[in-house]
């Protein structure tokens, strides 16, 4: 397997975890208009920040961020160290550190092995505006307000496991730049050598790759951070539990996500569909690996869970589908990755039969 495809659902109860631009004295929540109706959302950037911060709380140093441009009266930028060998967050979340156009060699970039969609409300929701007054110790009260809402938000995600700790090298024509790291720069970094980095061919391109033990560790760190997920705006007023209420994980050969319609919504509200999961797994037979791991918080929509478990009774019985707590599911998978005895093949592209030319 090369990819870990997933879909997560976070239920927001009277919260405002991701604000948009304020209007007058009121903080507005972000929303998208879908078929003419408002769907609150939390941007992928915000959730990636929560996960990144979670890795720091686990003791992983974050890549330092430097803000440049203002003093030089140029376009303002915020760059990390762009050092994916030293900093796992640069490796997992990617970066672009752009140089001047006239100096292309100064530009270095890496697209993210961890891809995450927007946490979008599965059904329309209408934010409520809370009116507030700061009147303590002042003669003229200050008026303010903010929006908040309750909704079930869902997002797809995909983790490209073989590309973790793997850095392709651009050829003479620039091919390979999306994961650019000069070989000289990589191999001269003492930490890379200490970690055992070596040169390999990856997806047809020359590359530098960290040892599988380090790549396993980084993938596990990401899952462990999701298992402890928290963050967002307005926590002092709304707090809010951000650990996914439902999460579905399936290891996949290709970079597709078959789970889009497993967690969805309709006029009746949230739907989590076992029949859709069964249909997708049947359609993609040979492209995925059992078990499909499902995390479902106890007490969350017991009615939907009962229906889902009936729809997937056969798959649950033969452990094609396993259901547990999201935290347990994520931590157990992370531990299995770290152990390295059963899942190391996930960190290599699957070997496929070559396409045969038609007989003429």
| 26 bridge partner residues | 23, 145
Which H helix or E strand runs over 167? strand 166-168
Residue with tokens 């979008």: 120
> Left (φ > 0), alpha (ψ -120 to 50) or beta: where does 69 sit?
left
Tell me the pLDDT tens digit for each residue of 149-160.
999 999 999 999
Assess contact for 44 and 118: CB atoms under 8 A.
yes
Q: How confident is the model at residue 260 (pLDDT cuts 50, 70, 90)?
A: very high
Mean pLDDT in residue range 140-144: 90
| Contact assessment for residue 250 and residue 259, using Cβ atoms and an 8 Å cutoff | yes
Alpha carbon 278 to its chain's center:
24
Residue with tokens 């496991």: 161
271-301 residue pLDDT tens: 999 999 999 999 999 999 999 999 999 999 9
pLDDT digit string, tens, across residues 74-125: 667 788 888 888 899 999 999 887 665 555 555 677 889 999 999 999 999 9
In this structure, are residues 245 and 300 in contact, taking their beta carbons and an 8 Å threshold? yes
- Binning pLDDT at 50, 70 and 90, where does residue 267 land? confident
Q: Report the C-alpha gap between 29 and 23 in whole angstroms.
A: 11
Please tell me which of 22-36, 71-85, 181-195 the model is most confident about, judged by mean pLDDT: 22-36
Taking only the tens place, the pLDDT of each residue in 310-360 is 999 999 999 999 999 999 999 999 999 999 889 999 999 887 776 666 666
Tell me, what DSSP letter sits at residue 254? S
* Predicted TM-score of the model (pTM): 0.89
Whether the pLDDT of residue 182 is over 70: the answer is: no
pLDDT band at 179 (very low <50, low <70, confident <90, very high): low
12, 149 Cβ separation under 8 angstroms: yes
| Residue 205, pLDDT score | 77
**Model pLDDT, residue 202:** 76
Between 333 and 182, where is the model more confident?
A: 333
Distance CA 56, CA 89 (A): 9
Enumerate the domain spans of the chain. 3-69+77-131+147-161+217-347, 166-209
- Cis (ω within 30 of 0) for the bond into 278? no
Q: Which token pair is 250?
A: 């399936």
| Distance of alpha carbon 233 from the chain centroid | 19
The per-residue pLDDT for 194 is 65
């Amino acid at each position: 397997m090369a990819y870990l495809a997933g879909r997560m659902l976070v239920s927001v109860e009277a919260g405002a975890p991701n604000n948009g631009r304020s209007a007058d004295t009121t903080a507005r929540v972000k929303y998208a208009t879908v078929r003419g109706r408002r769907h609150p959302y939390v941007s992928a950037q915000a959730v990636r920040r929560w996960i990144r911060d979670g890795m720091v709380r686990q003791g992983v140093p974050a890549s330092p961020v430097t803000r440049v441009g203002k003093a030089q009266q140029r376009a303002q930028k915020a760059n990390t160290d762009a050092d994916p060998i030293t900093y796992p967050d640069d490796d997992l979340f990617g970066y672009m550190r752009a140089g001047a156009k006239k100096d292309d060699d100064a530009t270095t970039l890496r697209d993210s092995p961890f891809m995450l969609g927007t946490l979008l409300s599965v059904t329309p929701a209408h934010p409520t505006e809370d009116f507030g007054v700061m009147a303590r110790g002042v003669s003229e009260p200050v008026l303010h307000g903010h929006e908040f809402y309750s909704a079930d938000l869902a997002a797809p995600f995909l983790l490209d496991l073989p590309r973790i700790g793997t850095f392709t090298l651009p050829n003479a024509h620039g091919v390979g730049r999306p994961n650019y790291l000069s070989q000289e720069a990589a191999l001269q970094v003492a930490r890379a050598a200490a970690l055992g980095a070596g040169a390999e061919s990856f997806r047809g391109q020359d590359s530098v790759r960290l040892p599988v033990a380090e790549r396993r560790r980084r993938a596990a760190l990401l899952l462990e951070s999701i298992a402890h997920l928290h963050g967002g705006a307005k926590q002092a007023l709304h707090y809010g539990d951000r650990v996914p209420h439902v999460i579905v994980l399936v290891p996949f050969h290709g970079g597709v996500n078959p789970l889009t319609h497993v967690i969805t919504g309709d006029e009746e509200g949230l739907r989590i569909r076992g029949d859709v999961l069964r249909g997708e797994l049947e359609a993609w037979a040979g492209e995925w690996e059992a078990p499909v791991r499902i995390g479902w918080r106890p007490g969350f929509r017991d009615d939907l869970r009962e229906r889902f478990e009936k729809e997937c009774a056969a798959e649950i019985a033969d452990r094609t589908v396993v259901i547990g707590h999201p935290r347990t599911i994520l931590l157990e998978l992370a531990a299995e990755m770290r152990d390295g005895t059963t899942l190391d093949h996930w960190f290599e592209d699957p070997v496929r039969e070559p396409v045969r030319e038609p007989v003429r």
